[in-house]
Amino acid sequence: MLASVQWGLLPGFTVIGIALGGIYALAAIGLVLIYRVSGVLNFAQGAVSMFSAFVAYQVSIVMGAPALVGLLAAIGTGGALGYIIERFTIRPLAGRSALNKMVVTIGWLLVLQTAAGLIWKDTAYHAAVRLVRPSGFTFPGTSVVVGWDQLTTVVVALGLAFGTAAVLRWTTFGTSMRAVADDPDAARLWGINVNRVMAVSWIAGSAMGAIAGVLITPSINFDPISLTIVVIDAFTAALIGRLTSLPWTVVGAFFLGLAETYPRIFSSNAGAGHAVTFALVLLTLAILFRPGARLRQRITAGRDYMPVPATGNAPLRRLVVGTALGLGILVPLLLSGYYQYLAADALIVGLIVLSLVVLTGLVGQISFCQYSFAAIGAFTVGSLVGGHHWNFWPALALGVVASIGVGVLVGIPALRLSGLFLGILTIAVALFFDNFLLAPGTWDSFSGGISSWTVGRPSFLGVSLNGGYAFYLFALGVFGVAVLAVWNLSRSKTGRVLRAIRNSEIAAATSGVNVTAWKLVAFGISAGLAGLAGGLLAPLIGSVSAGAYSFQQSLTVVAIAIVVGVRSVAAAAVGGIFLIFGPELLTHTPVSTLWFPLIVGAILIVQVILTPQGVVVDWQERLRKRFPPGPRFPGGSEAPTRVLEIELPEREVVNV
């Protein structure tokens, strides 16, 4: 095997890896600076870098200005975006959890990525912004050619890293930054303008990301999605530096660049480097981040997404559910086959939203890889039905079981991680699926390679589901059973156990709860629901292809779930309808469907600031106030004394 390795490529790939590491270092330094001072993990860093790079493209390529002028325009744009994000969307969330602030940056990611696509088009045919000539020199003693652009990247990365470290250590403002990072309240007592320090950190960090975005344009497909995702890889370097150490972040960035490049010596699969990156993320999180240090984050995240009952008024609840079910059966009967298809699609996508209700609403865990779980169900069905001619139903059952297994595997690191760091891990999982597992050439017998699996619609209890309305009714039945199961779960003893884990893992463990087992159960249930959705999407669409289960899809469904209210099972229906019929409504307006992610991102930003519990939950609370439940005691009399109810996970409710 070693004989087939192309060792002659090692010097050249070393140069490429070091240059790529320089790009990661620039982006990661900005991430670390923002997180260190403000405590916010900026998921929009890649989008800011991308948008700023496109501004440089507009100035230098389209308008014909010198490349240096384009770089300055990009730096100014990055700094301005950093200030706008911090001043108008992060600062109003003072006192809220880090998870809430992270969600806002996801909204900005969607807004900036969509805006760049609308302005400069979602194609890879944009000319790169070259600050120096691509030619170079031969490294002394070797035959390796080092490009001037590669050397510039490394020099700029090291210069900014050492310069930032020097500012933090030896300047008065750097001392203020370190003071704000350690304890903002104490810094205020010492007369430090905390808001100004945080604004400067966001401006500087975003400007560094802009430089990284411009420097990387000659090396990748220059389009909004690719450029955004490449900069997201810098999270790994930031993690190696524990999000606080600039020297270790730079070391981690160069190590990451080499780790992504060297696998190409051993494998022709272009995604092999991404598999190594995923392994590095997993290893770094497991080794460097201890569970005890994140206890406060876990408790806060749990309170942010505490589930609520639909209403305490049981007759009203039955009326609302019955009316919704009746309309759900009758209205699609009057629609065309196309809209029946969309309605079935909305219900199936609603299962993915429901999977987040279980994971985030009940357990307080965040996940950005739900469409990866759905992909397991979809491609299991596709490969078995389309490739091996299985019957649909056993293939679907196996797909759900496989999704549960993958969910449990992803949940194992969650025993140590939560909040922001679990979010990073699930992003790594999603990108691992996109760039390696489902990429052509890795596992073609599962993914289908460059082709799509074809799956026909089955029969159910002797009734053919080929008709649009028949398949819709089947999807409605599956969705209704799943919602009822999750609703009963949330009200059961198991639901109380999961809420106890969400509120305090230590307290739950002290009460005798097996925290490890129950968290893995929650991840398994959530992944199983997503896998069921993926398996049902296969016959609905008629084919299975990797593009329908990308990280971008996972990001959008998380945003919509939070907008509608991940604390309520009713959000599953509303979220599915919004996700499928939202773009459809835009086709009947002068606005293109391409605007939909931008609209979702903007709504997400505003909603988190104004109504963090979500739209559906807000409606339910208003409804509960308008129609309060009846008296708890016969005859309408109140209890003679106040009763304090204490929930014990392993016992019934005890009155004291």
Range from 346-360, 397-411, 501-515 carrying the lowest mean pLDDT: 501-515
Q: What pLDDT score was predicted for residue 62?
A: 93
C-beta separation of 53 from 74 below 8 A: yes
Task: Please compute the mean of the pLDDT values over residues 209-230 and round it to a whole number.
Answer: 84
Residue from 230, 269, 224, 264 nearest 20 by CA: 230
pTM of the model: 0.86
CB 249 within 8 A of CB 237: yes
Helix, coil or strand: residue 336:
coil
pLDDT band at 631 (very low <50, low <70, confident <90, very high): low
Instruction: Dump pLDDT digits (tens) for 137-150.
Output: 676 666 667 777 77
| Contact between residue 81 and residue 51 where contact means Cβ atoms under 8 Å apart | yes
Residue range 543-575, pLDDT digits in tens = 999 888 999 899 999 999 988 888 888 889 999
pLDDT at 254 exceeding the cut of 50? yes
pLDDT range class, residue 361, cuts 50, 70, 90 = confident
List the domain boundaries for the chain.
25-132+163-227, 296-626
b/e burial code for range 262-276 (CB count within 10 A of at least 16 → b): bbbbeeebebbbbbb
Quick one: pLDDT at residue 647? 41
Q: Give the up-direction half-sphere exposure of residue 191: CA atoms within 13 A in the CB hemisphere.
A: 0
Q: Which range is most confident: 102-106, 109-113, 160-164, 322-326?
A: 109-113
Residue 233 has pLDDT above 80, yes or no: no
- Residue found under tokens 């050439």: 441
Choose between 497 and 629: higher pLDDT: 497
Compute the average pLDDT of residues 313-321. 75
Is the pLDDT score of 503 beyond 60? yes
Q: What is the pLDDT of residue 638?
A: 47
Per cent of the chain over pLDDT 90 is 37
- 296-626 CATH, one of 3.30.70, 1.10.150, 1.10.3470, 1.10.8: 1.10.3470
Flag whether pLDDT at 517 surpasses 80. Answer: yes
At residue 244, does pLDDT exceed 60?
yes
pLDDT of residue 239: 83
Instruction: For residue 460, give the H/E element and its range.
Output: strand 459-460
- SS3 (DSSP) at 463: strand
Tens of pLDDT, residue by residue over 56-103, are: 999 999 999 999 999 999 999 999 999 999 999 999 988 787 778 888
